[in-house]
Chains A and B, each alone.
Chain A
């Protein structure tokens, strides 16, 4: 390799180790970067306060833009909520005027203090969702230094009371697990409440991108086993600044599970390719639950989801020291 060239991402390195290219994932990363560059050009003249970041979430934040991706964005300040804060959400409309993923979760201004309301009554479903998405799948459109401070502030809120060396931080671990379980419970609750619109697509995402997001949060927390309490914030910050697929690919490489890693990311790559096909995505969006059993694309998503889960399970339960860590911390 040219010594001056940047080192390949863990995703690319995993593919190279297994002799494959994750074409859909790599293309989605390029597409996301291009769209971000274009968005920055459009917003070049918009003023931004020094304590404000425009943060991308969802598939934008993961670097996984596909043809039908929602525009999920938050304006986050490390300071206080105040009149005249710039940019306003309205000023982002020329770029992010499209559909937004979850009702009321995005297209808003939020402070780090609000996001760091962890636990008890005031930590609503919306705050939990925003906090976890910022931690696990966010990327800065504007204000990368502020975005970094946002993540550091949230980590500080979790780790402030934890001073034990070589222990995954329980407060953060429990919240990551809580978020995953909340997503899964809310999925079923929506279905039972009769909100069957996009059921098949939501089911497919639950078994693929949501599962990957959970694992991408769980693995860095377990990595804290390797460091002292003083080093845990820096380790977590460096991990969370990467896309979830890089965190997961790096873990497969680190724990010498290249074969399983190639299959796991390969299954996710196939899912992303399917999602990028407008016709197949639209058909999944329209597919009612009653017909999902016979639908080839839904069944393909189900199988890909199983392969992803099997791969992540093998990584967590069949590789040292992860299998000891997940046994120690994963259930109780």
Chain B
């Protein structure tokens, strides 16, 4: 009797494409840590091949989760297209939607950039900003509670530690916090910085960025097995917020 092949992994989520048809997932989650968490979502930041094609990137994000997503406009020249896409009221399935604000090719002064970000429709729950993009905190007050500040990796000179971020949060009392667990893990192998950030700003935590970092380059790559173990205790303190994958789901 021929041996039966083992059943395929069950999809973590039933998928809903933009046109409303159910699809089979292309990337079932093989990481127990990620598969157990809810809600999980994808950042479009790793979808370099589709840059500018927001509908296409949303469909890719939907393949990971219909519950949460982050639309990433890392280049300032991408933001206008994203605002236009969202103002077109696409039928998005996400319960939680964040937008990553520009970090590259900045030309606008802060007040003009904030005005553009503030145009993002109300379905956008959070606007993630790197601290080094904030020149004058008061300029960012109009974003209110939608403003979410992310901790930085070791390549930056500021924004990694609680003492760097505290003055920003003092000036922006409604702002939330996005823990980038890989950034914090790159600063302290024992995850002490990550725990310190949660001790200081955990009450503001709105989402977590989850990935590993490519050694020496700082670019986000799928979560390594060793990092899954290293990050586990930190992530256990964040069971209630969306985890946004900044790299494709691991396929190991």
Q: Which residues of A contact B (CB under 8 A)?
A: 18-20, 257, 259-260, 262-264, 266, 293-296, 299-300, 303, 306-307, 310-311, 313-315, 317-319
Find out whether the CB atom of A303 lies under 8 angstroms from the CB atom of B145: yes
Cβ contact within 8 Å between B239 and A260: yes
B140 within 8 A of A: no
Extra contacts besides A259-B237, A300-B145 (12): CB < 8 Å: A18-B203, A257-B239, A259-B198, A259-B205, A260-B237, A260-B239, A263-B202, A263-B203, A303-B145, A310-B39, A313-B240, A318-B36
Residues of B within 8 A of A303 (CB): 125, 145
| Shortest distance from the beta carbon of A208 to any chain B beta carbon, whole Å | 15
| Alpha-carbon separation in the docked complex, A319 to B36 (Å) | 12
Minimum CB–CB distance from B198 to chain A (whole Å) comes to 6
Q: Is the CB of B125 within 8 A of A314?
A: no
Which residues of chain B are near A260, meaning CB under 8 Å?
A: 237-240
- Say whether B38 contacts A317, CB under 8 Å: yes
B residues in contact (CB < 8 Å) with A:
36, 38-39, 95-96, 122-123, 125, 144-145, 198-199, 202-203, 205, 237-242
CB proximity of A59 to chain B, nearest CB, Å:
24
A105→B144 CA distance, assembly (Å): 39
Closest to B242 in A: A310
Measured CB to CB, the nearest residue on chain B to A266 is B203
Residues of A within 8 A of B237 (CB): 259-260
Q: Are A259's CB and B238's CB within 8 A?
A: yes
Q: What chain A residues lie within 8 Å of B39 (beta carbons)?
A: 310
Q: Which residues on the B side are within 8 Å of A266 (C-beta)?
A: 203
Instruction: Assess whether A264 is in contact with B203, with CB atoms less than 8 Å apart.
Output: no
- With a cutoff of 8 Å between Cβ atoms, the chain A residues found around residue B122 in the complex are 293-296, 299
8 A-B contact pairs sorted by A residue (CB < 8 Å): A18-B202, A19-B203, A20-B203, A260-B240, A262-B203, A293-B122, A303-B125, A310-B241
Contact A306-B145, Cβ < 8 Å, known A19-B203, A263-B241: no
- CA A19 – CA B166 in complex, angstroms? 15
Q: What residue of chain A has the Cβ atom nearest to residue B39's Cβ? A: A310
